[in-house]
Copies of this chain bind each other. A is one copy, B any other.
Amino acid sequence: MARWLEEIQWNADGLVPAIAQDAASGDVLMLAWMNRESLALTLEQGEAHYWSRSRGRLWKKGEQSGHVQRIAEIRLDCDADALLLKVDQRGGIACHTGRRCCFYRVLRDGNWVSVDPVLADPSTIYPQD
């Protein structure tokens, strides 16, 4: 195993949280999880791969939608237990709801209010779903 991979403080499940940030706009697109294999593949292919905890499998971002994330930079935090990926988000849509980013709900007066527009109908993004 490469040293740079072992310097990461993987959690008990062998995962770390990874923040994807749009390299151009600075928008925080999403937070997902990575294991060693997904991070190694991300570096090797230059496109973000994650570990889906709900599906229990490796997952290439955009594998169905085409909304892949080209990697501009991979950063590690001071405690070595979180990653920051600066990416070029193809299609301008990171969220499975068809929105630009996953953090589209804002807390206002005790309610989570959706404030960002749906840019594409999810049924057109994921035709096989």
Contact = CB atoms under 8 A, between A and B. Distances in A.
Interface of A: 2-4, 7, 17, 19, 21, 25-28, 30-31, 43, 73-79, 82, 84, 95-97, 99, 102-107, 110-112
Contacts of A30: 77
Nearest to A22: B26
A104 B102 CA distance: 24
Contacts of A17: 17, 31, 82
A107 B74 contact: yes
A80 to B, nearest CB: 8
Number of copies of this kind of chain in the complex: 2
A84 B4 contact: no
Nearest to A116: B75
Contact of A110 (B4, B25, B73, B79): B4
Contact of A105 (B75, B95, B99, B105): B75
Given A28-B19, A82-B31, A76 B107 contact: yes
A66 to B, nearest CB: 19
Contact of A78 (B19, B77, B82, B97): B97
The residue in A4, A7, A75, A96 that gathers the most chain B C-beta atoms within 10 A of its C-beta is A75
